[in-house]
Amino acid sequence: MGNIRKLRLPAIGLTLGLVAAACAGGTTDELGGTTSTPAQTNTAAPPSATTKTSPSTPTTTGQPLTTSSPTPVTTTIPTTSSEVEEHESAGHAEEAANVGEMAEMAEEMMESMPDSMAEMAEEMMESMPDSMADMAEAMPDSMEEAAQAAGEMIESMPDDMGEMAEAMPDSMEEAAETAGEMMESMPDDMGEMAEAMPDSMEEAAETAGEMMESMPDSMAEAAQDIAEEMADSMPSGMSGMMGMMMGMMSPSTPLPACTDRPLTVLPLTQEKILGVVPLGHLKPPEHTQPTDHIYLSIPGYLQLLAPSVNLYSAGNGRVTRVSRTDYDQDGNTWSDWNLTIGVCDGREIRYGHVSTVSSAIQEASNASRTGRCDTYGYGTNQYQYCSADVSVDVVAGDLLGTVGGLDTTNTQLDMWAYDNEMAPLAFINSAAQPSDAKQVVCPLDWFTEDLSQFLYGIRRETHLGAPFPADSAVGCGKTLNDVAGTAKGLWYSATEAGETWQDQLALVDDNTRSDRQAISVASTVADPGFWLFVAASSGTVNRDFAQVQAGSGIHCYSSFTVESSGVQASSDRFLIEVVDDDTLRIERQTGSCSGSLAFSSPFEYRRS
């Protein structure tokens, strides 16, 4: 049995990884909703070509979600978007339970596994290829001892798996309370097993995936069946986390190597794209900081009442993640979807404010075992966000769903592009940014040249119903504005500002006109809004933020343009002083910048 126990080790590691994920708990949800979309494919339509108009699809927004947990999880809103920029910053690593929970659930699961499953595991281990044996040989002694202990536990397992459910605590809170006691009474060999677990569930998932890929097909299927049987016997919250690990370890075909321009089809038919809002859009308080995505405006967006239009895959790839957000803003409720698509190895695009999704995506999200939900918001603006990992292969031009619809407020398609192979964007306060926001690039540059040229040609912002075309120097816009040692960039209130987002201040470039800059305020200094002005290269009035250095004294900003959103912008002035590299003072006053400049009751902001 000595050799067999060594070979059993990877499978035990896999089981423990699954158990640890299960212990993390979390609420689960099938991303419900009804969709009706025709089986249709869009073809690339260069600007010079005649584009076929696809018929609109009747839409039915998703129904309110019903979670299996009476108390939803509350999380912090991402700092770059009110529409929940996929919550990547709240990744699954945060859900890992403490070692006590892992050990407790591992022991209970081991004790409840039927003999047939133990025998199946033994047969699987005996037939593992040499590469798995080599992996086992490379494990430290402490892991071998842990594996031996686990083997002895397997031999003594009861026949009835129902005992596992009876032994489960009534709530995960009880499990957490007893975890410490379990650790104190745990024999040494179990302690060694817990200590040998991977530091993060991502490592466990990667190891599990490698193991699955190296197994013969029959063994991989058997392992999956075992994991599914375990998950089915667990409470819903635990089975959701078990499903997360199962989804992560399932083998899938790698995406192809990247090309410079992997997007060959417009996501909406050409005549339905009325404008492109570049990166860096401002709309305080939820978009006090420049947005990390572009917008494609559809007919009816000015009236905030847009008929439904079809949404297509811009390139070949795989839908890897879906989410749905239920909105409740001042009593108005609606829902929309968010789709993440891997277009090649290391690159992803994401669609936001999708009103309905295709039946294939709907079915995959319902079938996913990785679903979970969070709630968040401020004041009368509340949201419920549910997400799931999926795997749906798509071809450029495939119909993915619809955008707009008279029963929703969705009048623009949000679009992100992430290059996960590039060096992260160098925000001064990097910790305040979600991880995906640091990998943002311009989606327009990934389209074939003819489509990219068309999209660049319709870049604009709209204020008070009037379009403001973007100049050539702005390009696609930008999210990163930070310039160390100056006023330019992102700042955060030094005092408590209440709800999430409310502490933000952005002194940044305008996203359509290269000669203008903006003071974007979430709260504290003024009511939410932004104030635009023409930047000066000298003096202390309207000076370019990048030239306002620490210790250079008070600078004044006024003469704001008509498209500024701030209340009474024409009579406002702001005094700004950079005290040091990490400290800024700002105050909103009434009047022009003539005469003496002095603070009365300034507010202090910090870089971090």
Strand duo 516-521 + 504-509: pairing: antiparallel
What is d(CA 108, CA 129) in angstroms, rounded to the nearest whole number? Answer: 30
Same domain, 506 and 447: no
Would 150 be classed as within a structural domain? yes
Task: List the single range of 57-66, 221-230, 454-463, 589-598 with lowest mean pLDDT.
Answer: 57-66
Does 40 map to a domain?
no
Give pLDDT tens digits for 470-518. 999 999 999 999 999 999 999 999 998 877 789 999 999 999 999 999 9
Q: What pLDDT is attached to residue 104? A: 58
Structural domain for 220, as ranges: 2-25+95-249
Residues 463, 544 within the same domain = no
- Asked if residue 602 and residue 561 are part of one domain, the reply reads yes
Inside any domain, residue 364: yes
Q: How far is CA 236 from the centre of its chain?
A: 23
408 close to 332: Cβ distance less than 8 angstroms? no
pLDDT of residue 230: 54
Average pLDDT, the chain: 74
Average pLDDT over residues 187-191: 45
Classify the C-alpha dihedral 190-191-196-198 as positive or negative.
positive
- The whole-number pLDDT of residue 79 equals 33
Q: Residue 487, Cβ neighbours under 10 Å: how many?
A: 25
Q: Is residue 45 part of a domain?
A: no
Q: Which stretch, 105-114, 180-189, 308-317, 499-508, has highest mean pLDDT?
A: 308-317
Residue 372's pLDDT band, with cuts at 50, 70 and 90, is: confident
Mean of the pLDDT values across residues 23-27? 37
pLDDT surpassing 50 at residue 236: no
The CATH code of the domain that includes 327 is: 2.70.70.10
What are the pLDDT digits (tens) for 207-227? 555 555 555 554 545 555 555
Choose the final residue of a domain: 194, 214, 249: 249
More confident residue, 163 or 349: 349
- Do 236 and 265 share a domain, yes or no? no
**For residue 287, what pLDDT band results from cuts at 50, 70 and 90?**
very high
456/315 same-domain check = yes
Q: What is the DSSP letter of 306?
A: -
**Predicted local confidence at residue 174, as pLDDT:** 55
Q: Is residue 73 part of a domain?
A: no
| Six token digits for residue 169 | 């605590």
- What percentage of the chain has pLDDT greater than the value 70? 58
Instruction: Give the Cα separation of 95 and 287 in Å (integer).
Output: 28
Residues sharing a CB contact under 8 Å with residue 413, sequence separation 6 or more, in sequence order: 267, 268, 295, 296, 298, 311, 351, 352, 353, 354, 403
pLDDT greater than 70 at residue 320: yes
Shared domain for 263 and 312, answered yes or no, is: yes
- Does the pLDDT at position 148 exceed 90? no
Q: How far apart are CA 473 and CA 200, in angstroms?
A: 44
Pairwise CA distance, residues 425 & 7, whole Å: 44
Q: Are residues 422 and 514 both part of a single domain?
A: no
Domain-terminating residue out of 474, 502, 537:
474
Question: Which of 451, 474, 497 corresponds to the end of one domain?
Answer: 474
Residue 350 belongs to some domain of the structure: yes
* Residue 52 resides in a domain: no
Residue 313 and residue 185 share a domain? no
Report yes or no: 476 and 294 within 8 Å, Cβ to Cβ: yes
Residues 280 and 388 in one domain: yes
387-431 residue pLDDT tens: 999 999 999 999 999 999 988 889 999 999 999 999 999 999 999
**Lowest-pLDDT range of 62-76, 264-278, 378-392:** 62-76
Strand pairing partners for 590? Answer: 572
pLDDT digits (tens, 9 = 90+) for 80-134: 333 333 333 333 333 333 334 444 554 555 555 555 454 554 555 555 545 444 4
Query: How sure is the predictor about 3, in pLDDT bands with cuts at 50, 70 and 90?
Result: very low
Residue 99 domain flag: yes
pLDDT at 492: 97
Residues 222 and 200 in one domain: yes
What percent of the chain has a predicted confidence (pLDDT) above 90?
Answer: 47
581 to 74, 112, 438, 576: CA distances (angstroms)? 34, 59, 22, 14
Whole-number Å distance between alpha carbons of 241 and 602 = 48
Q: What are phi and psi of 331, to 5 degrees?
A: 90, -10
Asked if residue 393 and residue 520 are part of one domain, the reply reads no
State the pLDDT at residue 562. 87
Residues 305 and 439 in one domain: yes
Domain count, the chain: 3
pLDDT given at position 422: 96
pLDDT at 2 over 50: no
CA-to-CA separations, 563 to 107, 339, 534, 586, in angstroms, rounded: 64, 33, 12, 22
- C-alpha angle 388-286-546 in degrees, rounded to nearest 5: 120
Q: What is the mean pLDDT of residues 177-183?
A: 52
Higher pLDDT, 409 or 347: 347
